[in-house]
Amino acid sequence: MNQTIERTRHIIQGESAVSDDPNLVIATLLGSCVSACIFDPVRKIGGANHFLLPESKSGSSDIRYAAAAIEVLVNSLLRQGAKKQRLQAKLFGGGRISANLPHIGRANAEAAQKFLHNEDIPIVAHDLCGTRVRRLKFWPTTGRVRLLLLDPLVAAPAEVPRVIPPNDIELF
CB 90, CB 73: distance < 8 Å: no
Cα-flanking dihedrals φ and ψ of residue 77, to 5°? Answer: -65, -45
Between CA 57 and CA 165 the distance in angstroms is 39
Between CA 128 and CA 142 the distance in angstroms is 21
Annotated active-site positions, please? 33
CB 26, CB 9: distance < 8 Å: yes
H-run or E-run covering 75: helix 66-79
Chain CA centroid to CA 142, Å: 14
Between CA 138 and CA 147 the distance in angstroms is 9
